[in-house]
Structure formats: C-alpha cells, structure tokens
Chain A
Amino acid sequence: MTSLNNASAAAADAIAEEGLIGDPVPLWKQTWKRLLRKRSGQVGLIIIGLLLLIAITAPVIAPYDPNDVLIGTEHVKRREAPCVHLLGCDINRPQHIMGIDGNSRDTFSRVLYGTRVSLMIGLVTVTTALVSGVLLGAIAGFFGGIADNIIMRIMDVILGFPSLLLAIAIVAVLGPGIVNALLAISIVSMPAYARVTRASVLSVKTLDFVSATRALGGSPARILFRRVLPNALTPIVVLATLGIATAILDAAGLSFLGLGAQPPMPEWGTMLGTEKDQVFSAPHLVFFPGIAIMLTVLGFNLLGDGLRDALDPRLNT
C-alpha cells in the first residue's frame, strides 16, 4: 500500500513538474529542465559554453597574437613540434602547446581565435538562412497559389544539388572569400527552413484561433508573426541548432579547399588547408584545428538532438 502511495505521489510530482497541475510552467522553462536531464543536452551545453567562453576571452587566454610572426622575436623554427613544459619540454624554451605553423605563428593562439571565426560563421549563416527561409516559407504557405509554386519549386531545385557542391559552384562564380562562402552556405541551407515554415503555416492557418484574429481585424503581419509562426518555432529551433553544426562543417570544407576564409584569417579549415601537404612532417598543424572543428560541430549536434527530445510533445510524461 505504501509503495502504491509513493508511486502515485511520484506520478503527481511528475505531473506537477510538467505543469499539468497547478500553475502553468512556461514552455521554455519546461524545455530547459528536460534539456538538462538529457545526457546529450548536458554535454552539448558544456561544449558550447566552453567555446563561447574561449571566444569571448581569446585575447586574454591566448599567449600570442594570432597573426604574430615569431621568427626574430623568439628562438623558434617553422613548423616546430609542440613544446609543453609540463610534458618535459626544456623549461628555457618558449612554450607553444600546439606548436608553430608554417608562417612561424603560435598555433594555439590561432586555434583559440578560430573559435570566434567559427561561431561567427555558424551564427551568421544560420541567421541569414533562417530569416530568408522562414519569410519565404511563410509567404508560400500563407498566400498559396502562384507565390507558393514559384517559391517552393526554387527550393526544390536548391535541394536538387548536393549542398556543398552548390556552395562550391556559387563561390566559383562569386569568387573565393569568407563573405561569399557564408552567402553560398546560407543559400543552400535556406530550403529546410522554408519547407518547415510552410508546413506549419498550412497546418494552422485554417484553425479557429487564426480566424478569430482575422475576424477581430488583425493584420496579415500580426496573424503571421503572433499566431502562425510561434507554432513553427519548435522544429525551427531544432533545425537551426543542427544547422549551425552543418554550416560550420561546410564552411570549414570550403576554406580547406581554399574557397572560403583566406589566410591569414585564423579559420580552422584554412589552417588545415594551408598545411595539408605537410601532414607527414608536421601532423600537429593538422591535428589541432581538426579537433577544434569536430568538438564545435559535435557540441551543436548534441544540443540539437537534446533540444529535439526536450521539445518533442510526445515525450511529455
């Protein structure tokens, strides 16, 4: 009997916690709580938190300026292997925990500053793709007809290309460079947002609460932004988080090929690309930037997975 009571008490607690009894708990608070309960959410948040910290404090924690050529100021050789005092490197030699690159710069400082570049790339591309994709999708779903057909067929064509390939083709025409690479990646990731938004708009635009707003004289913009789009928020948030991961990976790929960020910008893909032929003699110059890309992408992928689970209404207990 006691165990039964305990069980029902626990169930009641769980229900109360999810906001089904008592005061309603805001969706974001619930999501946050569920996110923190998931392992993928925890790890993702920790990784991204650390990266943000590094990006903000880069000038303080980086031992050198990322573009400082150290030949002449210090006794170092080009592409010198890492020297870590704690691991037995001679205490009299300057410490470079990730070694020296092909232009005699401190790789560690460059990797730290690279965090800023990569996070910026992820945020800028996803914001551009999201805003344009959501607007196009909303227009297509809301107005239907010719607008819908034209917009969605264009999106189909963009999806007809393998994404990185279309980005490469766009950069080939616009010319290599970080801005063009960001533009290209934004264009290729736009259709996903347009499709999701259009689908949610179509599913709610005939519902009573939307008609009610229309009956009360709400403008189309108000209906769209206050009534329709909030319903599309959940899939878009998940998509955007995973989209940051893809954008960072694709941008690194473009930069690796020499089509994205140009030297001397401390971008991880560019760092890898310029030293790729030296991998047999100086593997540290390839190893560390690659690990940095992988950790960043992993962080956003895990957070995206965690958010998807946390926001999934079917998993509500």
Chain B
Amino acid sequence: MLGYAAKRVLVSIPVIFGILIVTFSLARMIPGDPCKAMLGDKVSAETCQAFVERHGLNKPLISQFFVYVEDIAHGNFGDSIRFSRPVTQIIVERLPMTAELAMLALIVATVVGVGLGIIAARKQNSATDVGTMVLANVGISMPVFWLGLMLAYLFGVILRGTPLWLPPSGRLSAGMASVPFYEVWHWQVVADTTQARFLAFLSNFYVLNALITGNWPLFWDALRHMVLPVIALSTIPMAVIARMTRSSLLDVLGRDYIRTARAKGVLDRDVVRKHALGNAMLPVVTILGLQMGALLSGAVLTETVFGLAGVGRMLVEAIFARDYPVVQAFTVMIAVSYVVINLLVDLSYSYLDPRIRPQ
C-alpha cells in the first residue's frame, strides 16, 4: 500500500512540473516587453533592470524557469500590478472563499447525488427513476452561470418579502462583519508573520469562523449567502454523481452474490445498504476527483454571477486588468490543487478497493 502510494505520488510530480512549464511558457508568450507585462506600463528603467536581473531574463530560458520554480517553492508569486502588493497575500484573502464554496458544493453534490442515484436504481424504470434521470440530463446540460442568475432572480426578487428570500449576492449582509476567531479569543498575533497569515487564512472561511466563535447570527447570515451559489455550483456534479450511482448500483444489484443474499431472505433495504452500496460506490469515488475540476472551473463563473470575492472572480478581473502575475499564480495554484485532490482520490480508491492494490 505504501509502495503504491509512493509510486502514485511520483507519477504526479512530472504532471505538476508540466503545469509549471505551461504556466511559465504562457507568461513568456505574452506579447511585448516581459518587464512591462509583469510590473505594469509605468515602471521605471532602473526597476526594470533590477527585475530582469532578479528573474534572470537576460539568461537562457531554462535558468529563467528554475528561478521561477524556486520562487514558487518559496511561496513567492511576485507582486500584483493592480494592487502593488504580494500575490501571496491576495491568495490568503481570496482562496478561503472559493475553498468554502467548492467544499460545500462538493458535499451537497455528493450527498444529494448519491441519494437520488440510490432512489432511482431501487425503483428502476418507475416514474421516480425516469424523472430523476431526466432531471439529471437537464442538470448536466445546464450552464452554471445561467442557473445562478435565474436562482438570484427567483430567490432574490420574486420571493422578496417571503421567508424563502435569499440574498442574491455578496458574502455577508450590509452591517455584518466577520471578526477573526483569533481576535475574539484575544490571541497575541504578530503582524506579517507566517503564523499571522495562516490564522488570517483560516479566519477567512467565514462560515467556519462564525461556527467556532459561536457567533450564530453571523453564521446564519454567512450560510444564507452561500445557499444560492452552492446550489448553482453543485448542480452539474450532482447530476453526474446521480447518474453514476444509479448505473453502478444497477450493475452491482444484478450480480450473483446479491441474488444469493436475496435468496437467503435478506431484507431489500439491507441488500442495498450492506451488500451492494459499498461496491457500487467505487466508480463514484473515481469521478469525485474529476468533478473537482468542474467545481473549480464552475467557481470562476459562480463567483462572477454572485459577486463573490474569490480566486475565480479575481482571476477574471486580473485578465482584463492585464495583471499577469496574478493570472499566473492563480492558474498554478488551482491546477496544482486539482492534481493533489485527484492524487488523494486515487489513494483513497486503492484503500477502498484492495483489488487494485499491487500485491
């Protein structure tokens, strides 16, 4: 098992390396002067000279690449042109929002998707089954941004004044402010240290922060703001998971050992729960990792629709502002987390299914 894990980790390293090569080359393919592209148009000749020296832009591409990798390994993504401050700081502020959104969406998509898949499979060819699968087909074909806008209109405008009203944009209502947990607990934090940045990063998970500080009005408010984005973002993965669960469960339910279980009088409920579900979940676990890609891409669109200040929206804004250090850093970060998530999924898969472990 350990050997397999080590091998699987080793296989991911070239992919991560490849991702770095791609993002490095993309930055070098930007038309015009690289110094102006990375530091902005108003940069002085001396600063430019220093920048060229610093990044070895007068040296061969290969040594430029190693400077780039070394910087990233030290968590140094350069400075944002637009905000004139380190990109790492911006990531600390923006990433928790996106991570919170993606995680909540993944949980909802998995729980509801698996649930719907099981119901559909147990009542194969019934009206429920057909209805669920029609919905799943529509869900897969739904543009995330359109669904988001329609939900915002439905819950934000049409249902205004009813208890079902939900906030159509932002992370918190006006007048609400998230107080970081370390301030609530009066921790002594030295500004501008790694520890301070890490604590700030954690406290930017608003829902989590409100939960652990026991601030219920804030928790409720932050959660309500997440409902519509989470529904919009989770729809496509949910539909994919529901279809996968259904077909996989139907496949397992047709096997001989299930017939044996039924023959010896096991209750239908227990056949599904105890005998079939475990095996049926294996293919579902595999697609979970791939669905993270849909979630990360979808987050860009969802954040744009709901005006949420996460990495996705930041990325799009940075593209229009020609803020290339931000574009580069965010692309690397999202792609590497995608690879790591898929690595974790693969490892958990081999843990769940002993057959694919090498002996």
Which A residues have a C-beta under 8 Å from some C-beta of B? 40, 153-154, 156-157, 160-166, 168-173, 176, 245, 249, 252-253, 256-259, 269, 272-273, 276, 279-280, 283, 286-287, 289-290, 293-295, 297-298, 301-302, 305
Task: Determine the residue in chain A with the shortest Cβ distance to B130.
Answer: A39
Are A163 and B293 CB-contacts (below 8 A) given A172-B319, A172-B327, A279-B152?
Answer: yes
Whether the pair B26, A170 counts as a contact (CB closer than 8 A) is yes
Min Cβ gap A290→B in Å is 3
Q: Is the CB of B15 within 8 A of A256?
A: no
- Please, which residues of chain A bring their CB within 8 A of the CB of B320? 258
Q: Which residues of A contact B156 (CB under 8 A)?
A: 280
Contact mask for chain B residues 322-338; partner A; CB cutoff 8 A; 1 contact, 0 none: 00100100010011001
19 CB contacts below 8 A, A to B, read A160-B16, A160-B18, A160-B19, A168-B319, A169-B23, A172-B324, A172-B327, A173-B30, A252-B143, A256-B145, A256-B304, A276-B305, A279-B152, A280-B152, A280-B153, A283-B157, A297-B143, A298-B138, A305-B137
Assuming the A-B contacts A160-B18, A173-B29, A297-B141, are A165 and B146 also in contact, with contact meaning beta carbons closer than 8 angstroms in the complex? Answer: no
Number of chain B residues whose Cβ lies closer than 8 Å to a Cβ of chain A: 50
Give, as a whole number of angstroms, the nearest-CB distance from B286 to chain A. Answer: 14
Q: Nearest CB to that of B158 among chain A residues?
A: A283
Q: A253-B145, A272-B145 known; A301 and B26 CB under 8 Å?
A: no
State the main secondary structure of chain A at its contact with B: helix
Which of A161, A249, A290 touches B338 (beta carbons < 8 Å)?
Answer: A161
B residues near A170, Cβ cutoff 8 Å: 26
B142 contacts A294, CB within 8 Å? yes
Q: Is B301's CB under 8 angstroms from A253's CB?
A: yes
| With A157-B19, A160-B19, A160-B339 as contacts: A298 and B141 at CB distance below 8 Å | yes
Q: Is B69 an interface residue (CB 8 A)?
A: no
**Are B327 and A290 neighbours in the complex by a CB distance under 8 Å?**
no
Instruction: Report the minimum CB–CB distance from B25 to chain A (whole Å).
Output: 9
Find out whether the CB atom of A294 lies under 8 angstroms from the CB atom of B143. Answer: yes
Minimum-distance CB pairs A-B, first 8:
A157-B18, A290-B146, A164-B297, A162-B293, A298-B141, A297-B141, A172-B319, A160-B15
Contact at B334–A165, with CB atoms within 8 Å?
yes
Contacts of A169 in B (CB 8 A): 23, 26, 327, 331
A156 closest partner in B (C-beta): B15
A180 to chain B, nearest CB (A): 12
**Is the CB of B300 closer than 8 A to any CB of chain A?**
yes
A224–B156 CA distance with the chains assembled, in angstroms: 58
Interface: B231 (CB within 8 A): no
Q: How far is the CA of A297 from the CA of B174 in the complex (A)?
A: 38
**Residues of B contacting A156 with CB < 8 Å?**
14-15, 18
Taking the closest CB of chain A, its distance from the CB of B123, in whole angstroms, is 18
Chain A contacts for B140, CB-based, 8 A? 297, 301
B99 to chain A minimum Cβ distance, whole angstroms, is 14
Chain A nearest CB from B30 CB (Å) reads 6
A273 to B145, CA, bound (A): 9
Q: B319 CB to closest chain A CB, in angstroms?
A: 4
Interface string of B16-35 (1 = CB under 8 A from A): 10110111001101100000
Instruction: Given A161-B338, A256-B301, verify A280-B296 contact (CB < 8 Å).
Output: no
Q: Cβ of A162 and Cβ of B296 under 8 Å apart?
A: yes
Interface residues of B in 280-314 (CB under 8 A from A): 292-294, 296-298, 300-301, 304-305
Q: Could you list 7 further interchain pairs (A-B, Cβ under 8 angstroms) beyond the known A160-B15, A165-B338, A249-B143?
A: A160-B19, A161-B22, A176-B319, A257-B300, A258-B316, A283-B157, A294-B143
Residue among B30, B145, B156, B331 with the most chain A CB within 10 A?
Answer: B145
Residues 112-125 of B, flagged 1 when their CB comes within 8 A of A and 0 if not, give 00000000000000
What chain B residues lie within 8 Å of A293 (beta carbons)?
Answer: 143, 146
CB B34 to nearest CB in A, in angstroms, measures 12
Using known A-B contacts A249-B143, A301-B141, determine if residue A162 contacts B301 with beta carbons closer than 8 Å: no
Q: Is there contact, CB below 8 Å, between A153 and B150?
A: no
Known A160-B19, A173-B26, A294-B138; contact A272-B146, beta-carbon cutoff 8 A: yes
- Judge whether B141 and A162 touch: CB under 8 Å: no
Which B residue sits closest to A175, measured CB to CB? B31
Q: How far is the CB of A299 from chain B (nearest CB, A)?
A: 8
B149 within 8 A of A: yes
C-alpha spacing A269/B298, complex, angstroms: 15
B149 CB contact (under 8 Å) in A173, A290, A302:
A290
Is the beta-carbon distance between B338 and A160 smaller than 8 angstroms?
yes
